[in-house]
Amino acid sequence: MQSITPPPNVRRLEPAEWPIYRELRLRALADSPDAFGSTLVVEQGRSAEDWASRLTRDATSGLDHPLIAEVAHAAAGLAWARVDASDRSIVNVYQMWVAPEFRGQGAGRLLLRAAVDWARSLDATSVQLGVTCGDTPAIRLYTREGFTPFGPLGSLRPGSLVLGQSMRLQLKEGWICTAPSGLPNA
């Protein structure tokens, strides 16, 4: 008889779980070095205190929503949603990754939907993320979930030849102020 793997579960990472966050983040950077703005070398250089304070500070800020996917209580993936520093109506998604052994089970979709649901709870007008060009599974996921490309292609990080594309999910129409006809635009 074949064992049935339980479906993924997504929840918020708690500040005391920084070792789990560190492990997932380092695995993500080792597995997919061209999918992130940071590098494995940079993140490996962080002290335990850095990891702990980063998760504690951000997980309690009200502006960040660190997420973990679990399958049968095993850490399977992560995503990080953050209110944009310059426009609080936008939520950005970073660090989206699912461990290879858990891919194809819906963890990525659940992580993304949890980030979008959090953005909606904040009354955000849009959710934005960046994806490496050619990262077909990620682009397919984001497109299926309603994200569309916007803006020009850009370098993944300074000095990188890898190109990235910004994508956006419009949650609601933002306000657009225009001058009534006959009046000059200010």
Average pLDDT over residues 149-176: 84
Of residues 7 and 179, which shows the higher confidence score?
Answer: 7
Among 132, 117, 111, 104, residue whose Cα is nearest residue 10: 111
Cα 174 to Cα 19: distance, rounded to the nearest angstrom = 39
Q: Kindly list the domain boundaries of the chain, sorted by start residue.
A: 9-170
Q: What H or E segment, with its residue span, contains residue 71?
A: strand 64-71
Banded model confidence at residue 2, pLDDT cuts 50, 70, 90: low
Cα 65 to Cα 171: distance, rounded to the nearest angstrom = 18
User: Does residue 179 surpass a pLDDT of 50?
Assistant: no
Residues 4-21 have pLDDT tens digits of 678 899 999 999 999 999
- Output the pLDDT for position 121: 96
Residues 6+ apart with CB under 8 A from 110: 8, 9, 10, 69
- Output the pLDDT for position 154: 86
pTM score, whole prediction:
0.87
Cα 157 to Cα 149: distance, rounded to the nearest angstrom = 18
Among 130, 150, 127, 108, residue whose Cα is nearest residue 37: 130
User: Does residue 60 surpass a pLDDT of 90?
Assistant: no
CATH class for the region spanning 9-170? alpha beta
- Output the pLDDT for position 184: 36
- Output the pLDDT for position 176: 44
- Output the pLDDT for position 180: 42
Average pLDDT over residues 48-53: 94
User: Does residue 158 surpass a pLDDT of 70?
Assistant: yes
Average pLDDT over residues 97-126: 96
